[in-house]
């Protein structure tokens, strides 16, 4: 059962990798405290998402003539939804097939299913849908998994 104490938010800031009780993010999931296979931290995941968003903006510019961020004139609200749609499709296809996006790959990250290791298409769909809503991504549990990872039973781990 998920308890309210299991979740924190971006308001509390990132937690330390270990605490005085010998706990670390991912310990309850059977993951190591550091190195390959450990739960990825917030900062490295954020950089990965920003890379993916930039790629999505470039694709939207090429396919749909959506202005790039910080360009003149700025993108309208509907044009931003086009970038979000491209981001979601890119995320769904890549995570659902190879287990990582381009930003994840560059940053040395991978999305894994806690059950089988490989992310199933339905898990990728649920994760993408919740990630596109943004709010679940900024609410996480003590293992460092956002709600968009907790619902489909996935985790983002380091590959190097």
Average pLDDT per run of 10 along the chain, which is 160 residues long? 52 48 81 91 92 93 79 68 94 95 96 89 94 82 87 93
> Is residue 17 one of the residues assigned to a domain?
no
Q: Which helix (H) or strand (E) holds 154?
A: strand 154-158
Residue 26 in any domain: the answer is no
Is there a domain that residue 154 lies in?
Answer: yes
74 belongs to a structural domain: yes
Does a structural domain hold residue 27? no
125 domain-assigned: yes
Show the domain range for 112. Answer: 36-158
CA atoms within 13 A on the CB side of 134: 5
User: What's this model's pTM, rounded to 2 decimal places?
Assistant: 0.79
The predicted structure's pLDDT at residue 140: 82
Q: Please report the pLDDT score of residue 17 as a whole number.
A: 45
């Amino acid at each position: 059962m998920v308890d309210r104490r299991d979740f924190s938010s971006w308001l509390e800031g990132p937690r330390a990798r270990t605490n005085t009780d010998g706990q670390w993010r991912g310990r309850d999931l059977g993951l190591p405290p550091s190195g390959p296979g450990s739960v990825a931290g917030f900062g490295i995941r954020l950089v990965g998402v920003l890379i993916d968003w930039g790629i999505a903006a470039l694709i939207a510019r090429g396919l749909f003539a959506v202005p790039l961020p910080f360009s003149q004139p700025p993108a309208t609200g509907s044009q931003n939804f086009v970038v979000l749609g491209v981001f979601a499709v890119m995320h769904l296809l890549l995570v659902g097939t190879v287990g990582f996006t381009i930003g994840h790959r560059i940053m040395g990250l991978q999305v894994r299913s806690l059950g089988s290791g490989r992310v199933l298409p339905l898990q990728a769909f649920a994760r993408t849908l919740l990630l596109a809503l943004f709010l679940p991504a900024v609410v996480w549990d003590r293992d460092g998994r956002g709600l968009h990872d907790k619902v489909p039973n996935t985790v983002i781990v380091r590959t190097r």
